[in-house]
Structure 1
Amino acid sequence: MTKIKICGLRRPEDIETVNKYHPEYVGFVFYKKSKRYVTEEEAEKLRALLDEKIISVGVFVNADKAEILRLMRKGIITVAQLHGNESEDYIRELKEELSKPGKFPEEKEYRTDGEIIKAFVFKCPEAVSEIISRTSEILKEAEMSSADYILFDNGYGSGEAFDWSILRDFKKPYFLAGGLNPENVSEAIEKLKPYAVDVSSGVETDGFKDAEKIRAFIDNVRKH
């Protein structure tokens, strides 16, 4: 069954909704330029309200690795979604650090074996030849990535879709994002059968999460 990620949560009522409908993943955005940005302190309070069975994901754009490690070690997130220009070296170094045991200053031991999602963004140049070339390049990069999962998107929470047909032959498990909503998610699953679908603006009204849209989105995914 296709898994579900509801991204961009920032209010206690958002947590109340996901606790009721139980998507497999939720996302907290730690990118300051995003309108869905939450601070570490805000995310920690929201995480404390979240059902422990739901996996919390932190969304980052070219962040300092120390920030990601701190959030993981504090248990605020268990998955890091890298949505910038993070290199393979960056991913490898982060995974190495995640596997090391250690202690917080207060001598509390931790060990984190968190997972990493690497986002690959399809942006369409005007020239058709450039579209074909760049798409092929992105798919190759994604195929070779050492991240635990791949995420395909068309931007940073723009709410617009890209041409799904380019993913028909992609073999690795991936999260599908970009332009999904309760009305089109069934079509996306039927065409691509992704590992997971990821939604943010598609379940919002006036910029805030809408409980009824979240319910409808999850219901339509779980019909498959």
Structure 2
Amino acid sequence: MTTDAERVGWPESAPLVDVLDGRRWIATSLIVGAILTVGWNVTTTGSIEERLLRDGLLFLVIPGVLGLLAGEHLGWRIDRLAIRNTVLLSLFVAPFYLVGSTLPTVREHYPMWPVVPELGAFVPHAVQLLVLALAAETYYRGLLCVGVREIGFKCVFISPVAYAIAHVHSPPIELLLSAPADVLFGAVDYHANSILPSFVAHGFGLVLLDWLVLHDPIVEPERVVRHLDWLPVPL
């Protein structure tokens, strides 16, 4: 007996919206991604709770639902390769957060939301930062990179401009490094077919940065600035 799914050429086990396969899925993800980028940039938030609500909806819920309906995974997976890449990427970016935490422009900007270093207050703040990082990575490295990996390695170059625009109000050094960081994170996630590496490196990096900025610099800021004064941005 022939089922309706078989008559129209769909596999019986496929999701309802699995017509978004191949080129149609890629086109849909890119169009939705562009709409979400515009939506993110035309809205403003004040408190971290408002930021969680906006980013959670635009970057986590909408891409997640789209991926589930279309039967496409957005890099939400953990395996040995993903764990290895996570460790390597985290070790690579940790020095950038350590050095960045000593720069005057970074210390003026972070923490982005009020928090004190006492654990009772900082741990809930850290959890919120991790949720924000998960939302960002689901969108930038999930929907716009791992989710469209069928187009090949060039998928890692889809989101750098949007990622840089999202950092336009960040310290100049962070804006300068945002697009290269996006490419690096995307390349590592693409290789692992998972957003775990970028989520851990990004999320725990933000937590580490806030914690370090709330304390005295680990290295004298003047010394760091003196060694980095060749960069074309104020530090």
TM-score, reference length from structure 2: 0.23
Greater per-residue helix proportion: 2
Q: Which has the larger radius of gyration?
A: 2
Greater per-residue strand proportion: 1
TM-score, reference length from structure 1: 0.24
